[in-house]
Structure 1
Amino acid sequence: MNDDLRERVEREAEKHALLNAVKHESDADVGAIMGPLMGDNPEFREHGDEIPGVIGGVVGRVNDLPYEEKRERLEELAPDELEEIEAEEEDEHDLPDLPNAAEPSSASPDSQTHQDAEEYDEVRMRCAPNPNGPWHVGHARMPAVIGTYRERYDGWFCVRFDDTDPETKRPDLEAYDAILEDLEYLGFEPDAVYRASDRLEIYYDHARELIELGGAYTCSCSGEEFSDLKNAGEPCPHRDKDEETVREEFEAMVDGEYESGEMVLRVKTDIEHKNPALRDWVAFRMIDTPHPREEASEYRCWPMLDFQSGIDDQLTGVTHIIRGIDLQDSAKRQQFVYDYFGWEYPEVVHWGHVQLDAYDVKMSTSTISELIEEGELDGWDDPRAPTLKSLRRRGIRGEAIVDAMVELGTSTSDVDLAMSSIYANNRELIDDETDRRFLVRDGTELPLGGSPPEEANPPLHPDHEDRGVREIPVGDAVLLEPEDVPDREGRVWLKGLGCFQYTRDRLQYTGEDIEVVREGDVDVVHWAPAEESVPVRMRTMTGDVSGRAEPGVADLESDEMVQFERVGFARIDRHEDDETVAYYTHP
């Protein structure tokens, strides 16, 4: 490398190192700038072996500078690029400001009451899943958004398992841990974890207090009887029971003395309210089916979600609730309880549903569970299932999902989430660090002639020549994908090997250089050696695909990511006696 070229390399390396350091507000990394450096300066590639040694010293000098000096130097060298970074910083929030949320402060994390405050000193939120199975992709929206708000406001959030329906929404004992694992995969750790089924005595105590306040009464009307009264705006005949009778009958509920459907506790609201759904709603009912958790299996008197959730939100100091637009009545029901107790209701943000494309399986926990039980899906991590466990096994990073969910914002309209947006985010995260390999699907075997090289040496990564090359034995024949077989007398360039002409049912090595490709006359295709290739079963969203890959694939570690050239990214799952199993990630 002559002095002029070295100077150019150092100048470009300084710019890219500064861009990397300023954008991420951290030290620049040699590996991270190699790709952009070579992409902007393709003429450097023929000196790939020398480049890392030259830029290493430059990166070191840049990292020694204070952050403000890095920014000032970047403004001298690349003012337009710095302006783009500043624009991104100004638009860093995809989510709207939370109502009445103060900027991060030194407020105590134990602060739990906010009455009479114009702004909440600390943002406290909750993610309240029903533990009836692991999360599907749509479930990721809630933790993605509240986790992002927690980071933005230096706030607090908990996971509260709303598991007080042991019958119609029966909890799955394995789902509690599975959901926490899904949350960890997305990159968040809750500040606290609660199980509502552990808190029955708390709800009972608040029901007793509500009875004393004249805000609840026991009712033995059938569902049909009460519905007729409610719709007519007429009071239930039990509405004016004396407090002592209500208290005694509620204690009998707690003691399990009634059968399912025989007695409920209702919150006394406005029997003539314009919205019938808000009229004297049920707070507690009897359920004969035992809860699957042993700790809660003896209880028969269970709170309805609106009562349980409202009490828990107050006791855990929740300041902001995000819920679906279809749950607007929940806040209105709970407001009656809050008014009885003299509590201030949290701020509420309503949003629409997420619609997901690319899957044949409905994004529903119950539907996925049924398909697993019927053997239609292998499990929650089947690549055909729209679940977080499936995306994780396919090699999609949680960060890619979170970014896509946050970009949806909090609109009250239903929003469409294209899996392609998750794929694009994930590609940005993994492309630079993922090495390349060849995989041929449904291969056509063609003999070789003309004395080609005995070994092919394509790069592990086209943008990182310093990583080295693969060593692929060629042998006497290769496998091509059927659509890549050239026409008779046509030519084809086997990546990393050279130019061949299809003659007399074989590929004849021509020895021509890369110029034939640059002139546009020859297609570049991937291939695999017929003899020493390894069998691969790639699991995809539409079914398993069989193929054969270059021999180095057999040496890859489980969980390692790979890009099969011209096919797509995949995660190596395991090596079996007769094949390597990979999970297809995305193009």
Structure 2
Amino acid sequence: MNDELRERVEREVEKHALLNAVKHESDADVGAIMGPLMGDNPEFREHGDEIPGIAGGVVDRVNDLAYDAKRERLEELAPEELAELEAEDETDEHDLPALPNAVEPDSTSSDSQARRDAPEDADEFDEIRMRCAPNPNGPWHVGHARMPAVIGTYRDRYDGWFCVRFDDTDPETKRPDLDAYDAILDDLDYLGFEPDDVYRASDRLETYYEHARDLIDMDGAYTCSCSGETFSELKNAGEACPHRDKDTDTVHEEFEDMIAGEYESGEMVLRVKTDIEHKNPALRDWVAFRMIDTPHPREEASEYRCWPMLDFQSGIDDHLLGISHIIRGIDLQDSAKRQQFVYDYFDWEYPEVIHWGHVQVDAYDVKMSTSTISELIDEGELDGWDDPRAPTLKSLRRRGVRGEAIVDAMVELGTSTSDVDLAMSAIYANNRDLIDDETDRRFLVRDGTELALGGDPPAEANPPLHPDHEERGVREIPVDDAVLLEPADVPDNGTRVWLKGLGCVEATADGLEFTGAGIDVVREEGVDVVHWVPAAESVPVRLRTITGDVSGRAEPGVAELESDEMVQFERIGFARIDHHDGDETVAYYTHD
């Protein structure tokens, strides 16, 4: 990195650190600013390995300033950003924009439960009703968390209602995984939300059939036996299918044969009549039902062969469940337009729709795709959905990341129609705020170098369990005749280091010599502080990380920690104790 670029990086880091510090009225955090920094300056990404080191020094300088000085410096560097920040503080109490045509409830209202128990009729109740409609082909990856996070937040904000509706009407190309239904509900619980109701579209086939019959009676649908290629040619030319003018009785008869399974896959479909000359060919006479020979994996639905397409099924359900607001990807704009034809036939009012862009998540080598993750698990490349290398909610949960941290990061992305980047550092920063105060400290040395220890050190070291909570007490680490240090911490001959919680030692030809010097050597002479463990009485640890397993040895008390307990390995990061396997402790790395 040349000097000019380095200066620019330092300037941008300072700006983002000041924004972070002033916004939260606290110290800035390197992890929290990395995402916005890289998002605003994509050209920095090729220097991603160097920037955190530069950022650390700049952030330290910012954090040395008093709050007023931080604000003054930010006003000097970025007055417009400061003005926007202060305007947000004054006018916006929510991270998400208001829903269109929605009124926030009176806090004195007491009829919310009665509204939640309303029947399946969109015209008989008046509240915010939303749905999360996953395809149950596997547990959720990180990107999936955005929808429940935003919908759940809106539900709470408007005292509304939301359901989980499993859109599982494609037993072939998006084949449901029987374990995924409960796995997704478990992921939702981890995020901190409980749906007001749960539906499976595969339980509702007869409802879709009845509405198809009604649509046929309205001359709004017809059966078509054209091949896909033939119909595509007609559609693209704006020409009507020869089956479009079938009489209603024939359409009914053929549709009932579809329901009875009389046709093979691809032999017959039911199409919604739209505008065959519509300027968008994708909207011309689209398929509502098709034949699928592959049985559904759910026993309750395994006999069905005539399955609705998602646009038909979802459109019917959104009305019957009284959905008031739909959030969907910007790439699904045609879905609303297709469904509007059905709503017009039935004289229904279409819900409000919010389209948003995709969310891209950094930090993972594994593609953010349920099918890809599933394949890697089947091939043995990943241990399971909660493998620390997998970009899944189950993995984050096992690593000790709290669902609240994910929800807050997703909500902060808003509902922009543009694609957005989510830096995992934003989730980690949120999680750090949640767990730091309650998490005790421990020492872990990776790839340790053993050094003899002489000079009459104390028999026991007693570093605090938490530097900010003296009342919690201290750890009891035995001191023997040798210690382990991480290779990068091993001092050169004649150099001193401070063994944290023990004292000052000097490197000699024979190892380390305890000097008995006071803490002043750290403050006044710049002696480095390093962590360590006793060579003989340390315990083996396998630290499972996003890039692979790391072996190390920890202070003896780690072997006594309970499963699911969080620790902070000093100078390394937070971790969740997973289990003890014989003499070895297995921990999952959370973040730094």
TM-score tier (shorter): 0.7 to 0.9
Tell whether 2:439 aligns with 1:438: no
d(CA) in 1 for partners of 2:105, 2:359: 30
Tell whether 2:99 aligns with 1:92: no
1:129 maps to 134
1:109 maps to 116
1:500-515 → structure 2 map (5 Å cutoff): 500-515=505-520
Q: What are the superposed Cα offsets for residues 266-300 of structure 1, whole Å, 9 maximum, x if unpaired? A: 00000000000000000000000000000000000
d(CA) in 1 for partners of 2:562, 2:450: 28
Matched-pair contact (CA < 8 Å) for 1:443–1:482: yes
Matched-pair contact (CA < 8 Å) for 2:326–2:351: yes
What SS does structure 2 have at the residue aligned with 1:382? coil
d(CA) in 2 for partners of 1:428, 1:497: 29
Matched-pair contact (CA < 8 Å) for 2:133–2:166: yes
Matched-pair contact (CA < 8 Å) for 2:122–2:319: no
d(CA) in 2 for partners of 1:473, 1:518: 26
2:307 maps to 302
d(CA) in 2 for partners of 1:549, 1:85: 46
Letter in 2 for 1:245: T
Letter in 1 for 2:96: L
The 1:520/1:340 distance shift into structure 2, 3 A limit, reads farther
CA-atom RMSD, angstroms?
Answer: 1.8
Aligned-pair CA distance for 1:109: 2.8
Aligned-pair CA distance for 1:578: 3.0
Aligned-pair CA distance for 1:521: 2.7
d(CA) in 2 for partners of 1:356, 1:85: 28
Matched-pair contact (CA < 8 Å) for 2:121–2:321: no
What SS does structure 1 have at the residue aligned with 2:360? strand
d(CA) in 1 for partners of 2:514, 2:91: 56
1:322 to 320, 323, 327: 327
1:371 to 376, 383, 402: 376
What SS does structure 2 have at the residue aligned with 1:340? helix
Tell whether 2:158 aligns with 1:157: no
2:479 to 471, 474, 478: 474
Q: TM-score, normalised on structure 1?
A: 0.84
Matched-pair contact (CA < 8 Å) for 1:278–1:329: yes
Matched-pair contact (CA < 8 Å) for 1:355–1:416: yes
Aligned-pair CA distance for 1:379: 0.4
What SS does structure 2 have at the residue aligned with 1:539? strand
Aligned-pair CA distance for 1:91: 3.2
Aligned residues: 504
Q: What are the superposed Cα offsets for residues 519-560 of structure 1, whole Å, 9 maximum, x if unpaired? A: 143100000000000000000010000000000000000000
**Unaligned stretches of 5+ residues in structure 1:** 1-18, 20-38, 41-83
2:398 to 377, 393, 397: 393
d(CA) in 1 for partners of 2:224, 2:348: 26
Letter in 2 for 1:100: N
1:484 maps to 489
1:343 maps to 348
d(CA) in 1 for partners of 2:309, 2:373: 25
d(CA) in 2 for partners of 1:492, 1:332: 69
Aligned-pair CA distance for 1:506: 1.2
Letter in 2 for 1:298: E
1:359 maps to 364
d(CA) in 2 for partners of 1:104, 1:245: 51
Aligned-pair CA distance for 1:86: 12
Q: What are the superposed Cα offsets for residues 558-582 of structure 1, whole Å, 9 maximum, x if unpaired? A: 0000000000000000001131000
Aligned-pair CA distance for 1:103: 1.4
Letter in 2 for 1:274: K
The 1:435/1:88 distance shift into structure 2, 3 A limit, reads farther
d(CA) in 2 for partners of 1:235, 1:522: 84
Q: Once the two structures are aligned, what percentage of the paired residues are identical? A: 83
The 1:87/1:264 distance shift into structure 2, 3 A limit, reads closer
Letter in 2 for 1:109: R
Tell whether 2:469 aligns with 1:454: no
1:524-535 → structure 2 map (5 Å cutoff): 524-535=529-540
1:571 maps to 576
Which segment drifts farther, 514-523 or 266-275? 514-523
The 1:538/1:168 distance shift into structure 2, 3 A limit, reads same
1:260 maps to 265
Tell whether 2:526 aligns with 1:518: no
Aligned-pair CA distance for 1:85: 12
Matched-pair contact (CA < 8 Å) for 1:208–1:247: yes
2:15 maps to none
1:557 maps to 562
Letter in 2 for 1:93: H
Aligned-pair CA distance for 1:110: 4.0
What SS does structure 2 have at the residue aligned with 1:452? coil
What SS does structure 2 have at the residue aligned with 1:428? helix
d(CA) in 1 for partners of 2:431, 2:525: 32
Matched-pair contact (CA < 8 Å) for 1:162–1:196: yes
2:45 maps to none
What SS does structure 2 have at the residue aligned with 1:562? strand
What SS does structure 2 have at the residue aligned with 1:569? strand
d(CA) in 2 for partners of 1:114, 1:308: 16
Matched-pair contact (CA < 8 Å) for 2:464–2:474: yes
Aligned-pair CA distance for 1:121: 3.4
Matched-pair contact (CA < 8 Å) for 1:104–1:122: no
Aligned-pair CA distance for 1:90: 5.1
What SS does structure 1 have at the residue aligned with 2:407? helix
d(CA) in 2 for partners of 1:474, 1:85: 53
1:382 maps to 387
What SS does structure 2 have at the residue aligned with 1:519? helix
The 1:568/1:529 distance shift into structure 2, 3 A limit, reads same
**Unaligned stretches of 5+ residues in structure 2:** 1-24, 26-62, 65-84
1:20-35 → structure 2 map (5 Å cutoff): none
Tell whether 2:188 aligns with 1:183: yes
Aligned-pair CA distance for 1:504: 1.8
Letter in 2 for 1:365: T
Matched-pair contact (CA < 8 Å) for 1:438–1:565: yes
What SS does structure 2 have at the residue aligned with 1:240? coil
The 1:87/1:461 distance shift into structure 2, 3 A limit, reads farther
d(CA) in 2 for partners of 1:313, 1:180: 20
The 1:476/1:85 distance shift into structure 2, 3 A limit, reads farther
Matched-pair contact (CA < 8 Å) for 2:148–2:188: yes
Q: TM-score, normalised on structure 2?
A: 0.83
What SS does structure 2 have at the residue aligned with 1:377? coil
d(CA) in 2 for partners of 1:463, 1:86: 34
Letter in 2 for 1:301: C
Matched-pair contact (CA < 8 Å) for 1:498–1:509: yes
Matched-pair contact (CA < 8 Å) for 2:240–2:276: yes
Aligned-pair CA distance for 1:102: 1.6
